Amino acid sequence: MSPLDFAAVESVKPALGRLKDRVALVTGVARPRGVGAAIARLFAREGAAVCVTDMVPEVRARAAEIEAAGGRALAIEADLTKWPAVEKMTAGIIASLGRIDILVNVAGKSVPPRPAFSDMSLEYFDMVMDRNLRTAVHCCKAVLPEMLGRNYGKIVNIGSTTGVVGVYRHCAAYAASKGALTAFGKALALEVGVHNINVNTIMPSDIDTGDAPWKPGDPARDLGLYAAHLAPAIPRPVRSEEVAELALFLAGDESRAVTGASYLIDAGVTLVEGMVSGPQ
């Protein structure tokens, strides 16, 4: 088994029941090799009932996969940029499963084409902020009353290294949305910590989701993203399953004293001097 054979590792790793009897809501789960799907699968294997949501019908396939593996899953197709849809989704989960113990905000993306800020329309900027920030804000706003009522909750936001450093050119809107998400998580953690609710942020680098082979220096990587991966401290890409393992820690009881934290998981990409490159 090679060091990067994550599928084989996951198939033999024993479940420890770290989320037994918990109810988790994971957003952005449609992509089969994406971070959301990896988190949902791991949480289910560790005993949680997992509610998976996305704005496209493929999310139902992810729920079916979890159930086929012996887990419990509920699929909800919803546009999380719309507050009424989030209210309806949350009410449905609580009606079906009684509560929401864990929220993982994965939904969001860098929306191509990525224009330079000087050429960017305000409509494009708003769209990126809606997908990467407003979705998380909506979900936090919706689940918090129930968490506050029980004096318990775990919230994990998936940010990005782009919210800390520029990483690549033409990312002003995306960087703003992810930077704001990290700051939002810290402020919310301070506000709700007295209620035994933990709020933390994971900041991955560009992730190899298995959609295409990752090759250092691949010229197909657009806008200089590939250049950031030429010489990371750990010379390989981050995988969705590795982000899921960190999310599991933050969603479990082992992290009960951890809140307001921001975790880089980037193979050391942000350590590389001069990494912010790309086409001139």
Buried b (16+ CB within 10 A) or exposed e, 182-218: bebbbebbeebeeeebbbbbbbbbbbbbbeeebeeee
For the question of residue 174 being annotated catalytic, the response is yes
pLDDT at 72 over 60: yes
Give a yes or no: residue 279 inside a domain: no
- Given the residues 168, 174, 226, 263, the one annotated as active site: 174
Domain count, the chain: 1
Looking at this protein, which amino acid is placed at residue 17? G
- Residue 59 lies in domain: 19-268
- Under the banding of pLDDT at 50, 70 and 90, the label for residue 274 is very low
Task: Determine the longest span between alpha carbons in the chain, in angstroms.
Answer: 54
Write the CATH number for 164.
Answer: 3.40.50.720
Q: What is the pLDDT of residue 224?
A: 46
Element (H, E) at 248: helix 240-251
| Beta-ladder partners of 262 | 201
Element (H, E) at 183: helix 172-192
Give a yes or no: residue 275 inside a domain: no
Main-chain dihedrals φ then ψ at residue 6, nearest 5 degrees: -65, -35
Q: What is the pLDDT of residue 110?
A: 74
pLDDT in tens, 168-217: 678 899 999 999 999 999 999 999 999 999 999 999 987 877 655 445 44
Give a yes or no: residue 202 inside a domain: yes
pLDDT in tens, 134-178: 999 999 999 999 999 999 999 999 999 888 886 667 889 999 999
Give a yes or no: residue 2 inside a domain: no
pLDDT in tens, 108-138: 877 777 888 999 999 999 999 999 999 999 9
Give a yes or no: residue 8 inside a domain: no
Give a yes or no: residue 188 inside a domain: yes
